[in-house]
Structure 1
Amino acid sequence: MSTALDLAAGTRRVRGLAATNTRLLLRNRLATFYAFAVPLLALTLLFSQDPAQPGAGLATVATVLSMALLFPVYYNLLSVVVTRRDELVLKRLRTGEVRDGEILLSLALPGVGVALLICLVTMVATPLLGFSAPANVPVMLLGMLVACTAFVALALWTAAWTRNAEAAQLTSAPVILLTMAGLFRVVLPEDAHDWLVVLPGAAVEEVVQAAWFGVADDGSQLALLETATAAGPGLAVLVAWTVLGLSLVARSMPWEPRP
């Protein structure tokens, strides 16, 4: 009984804090612009493509989802954590009944919600524009959730060595560049491809290729069950980044301002 009561109380605390954080996000016009406009602007690239071409829209959808992971999830959370840390908000929250995990979850939920909303909008928009609808929706949504968790972990880890909110523009660059390098690896030297597949952006594109477009590496169409198998390596890479990020966060989570 006590466990159930604790869980219910924790859920209420997370819901209340997440609602507050969502309102703060929406009041910040610049953060809201980056969260919504940047991914959705990438979606407009579909208008310049021919749906009849093989694999049409794949790179665009992967880019839209990567932007949704980088801006509302990663960069927004990084900025929020650093700002709240420096304002001693995190320290004050820890002195009450709110647990550490509840604080972090409530900070991450608004950005994750925006990313999932953008994913759903893209799922509706692509078939309306003549492109492929997701071949395996459950696997695609699972991949997006795992990717969100990975980028949340990376944001919290980046916050550990970010001195202030202004510095986040620089400290976020490695994760952003690595994600983009994996996403656009096809334009890089072929010798580097085997190394780039372990980057988050490459993993997102691999999941999109299999679970959304149902296409194998050789261009052949995949059956429903085959899409889940083909998405496996990309999901495994995202899980690995999640585990790595969370292990680093456990050692270095910045609850108080840096000296």
Structure 2
Amino acid sequence: MTRLVSIGAAELLLLWRNRFALVNALVVPPVFGLLFIPQLARAGMDPAAGATLAGGMVGVILSIVVYYNLVSAYVARREELTLKRLRSGTLNAAEIIAGTASPAVVIALAQSLLIVVITAVFLDLPMPSNPLLLAIGLIGGVAMFVVLAAASAIITGTVELAQITTMPMLLACFLGAGLMFPLSTLPGPVETAFTMLPLGPVIELITIGWAGTGTASDALRPLLLLVAWVAAGTTIVQRWFRWEPRR
């Protein structure tokens, strides 16, 4: 744990010095959140609609603060040979990846909890009916985006290229979360396929956990899907993650 804290503290200092990454982490998510205000007003007192909107805003935070910023961070540390030096020491792969991710994870969790509180107050929503399920959706989403960021870093040669290589995943996230248009407007099979994209299970678990819509069996599908995304990302990272630049 001490070693993780040390890496996290160093990464936090680097984040503070990188104004672009700092703005992405602290400013961009709230700005995106403002786009949801009209939808929040229309949601009224409907707990399910309010929970879904809160889940969408949390999804924006996770995809930008955790996924996008971490792809850039992993690539930058690799190109600077920082990852190689850490790997040649006593730290294992999981500690390095988790330690590098820790500042982004803490910021994302803090912003997500703030969004949940603000949404609950703004819509006068009841307390979450299943806080454990809501927490699983949030923490599982964080874990998923950490490993997906590390996986995306494999195909990202430079920090500048991160703006390009992250676009497919970000687009898939926004589509799967219904942030660009309501998924209910799509034909059944297409809607089902879109809900299987990364943010789909996260938002579904948050909605079920908060609004209490559905039964325990209804939560099983998004839970298994979230586990599958984490497992797929972890497998890719274990096999192909690079600790030094390709010469």
Shorter-chain TM-score above 0.5: yes
Report the TM-score, using the length of structure 2 for normalisation.
Answer: 0.89
**Do 1:123 and 1:134's aligned partners in 2 also have CA atoms closer than 8 Å?**
no
**Residues 1:183 and 2:171 are matched in the alignment:** no
1-structure distance, mates of 2:121, 2:36: 11
1:1-259 equivalences in 2 (<5 Å): 11-45=1-35, 47-48=37-38, 49-50=41-42, 51-53=44-46, 55-132=48-125, 133-184=127-178, 185-216=183-214, 226=215, 228-259=216-247
Q: Which letter does structure 2 place at the counterpart of 1:180?
A: F
Larger-Rg structure: 1
Contact 1:73 1:148 in 2 (8 A): yes
CA distance 1:158–1:46, change in 2 (3 Å) = closer
The answer as to whether partners of 2:65 and 2:108 remain within 8 angstroms in 1 is: yes
The share of aligned pairs that are identical, in percent, is 34
> How big is each residue's C-alpha offset from its partner over 1:159-189, in whole Å with a ceiling of 9 and x where there is no partner?
1111111111111112111111111133444
Instruction: State the Cα deviation string for residues 197-229 of structure 1 (Å, max 9, x = none).
Output: 22112112211220122224xxxxxxxxx4x54
Question: Residue type of the partner of 1:12?
Answer: T
Aligned length: 239
Q: Following the alignment from structure 2 to structure 1, what is the Cα–Cα distance between the partners of residues 55 and 212?
A: 14
TM-fit CA distance, 1:145: 0.9
What's the CA shift for 1:15? 0.9
Which amino acid in the other structure matches residue 154 of structure 2?
A
List alignment gaps of at least 5 residues for structure 1.
1-10, 217-225
Q: Which runs of 5+ in 2 are unaligned?
A: none
- Greater mean deviation of Cα atoms: 189-198 or 236-245: 189-198
Letter of the 2:72 counterpart = S
Query: What is the aligned-residue RMSD (CA, Å)?
Result: 1.9
Check the 8 A contact 1:179/1:201 in 2, yes or no.
yes
How far apart, CA to CA, are the structure 2 residues paired with 1:54 and 1:141? 17
Q: Which amino acid aligns with 1:230?
A: D
TM-score for both structures, normalised by structure 1: 0.85
Give the Å deviation of 1:53. Answer: 4.7
Question: Structure 1 residues 38-47 or 160-169, which shifts more?
Answer: 38-47
Which stretch has the larger CA shift, 181-190 or 160-169? 181-190
**Greater relative CO, 1 or 2 (CA 8 Å, sep 6+):** 2
User: SS where residue 255 of structure 1 aligns?
Assistant: coil
Could you tell me how far 1:61 is from its partner in structure 2? 1.2
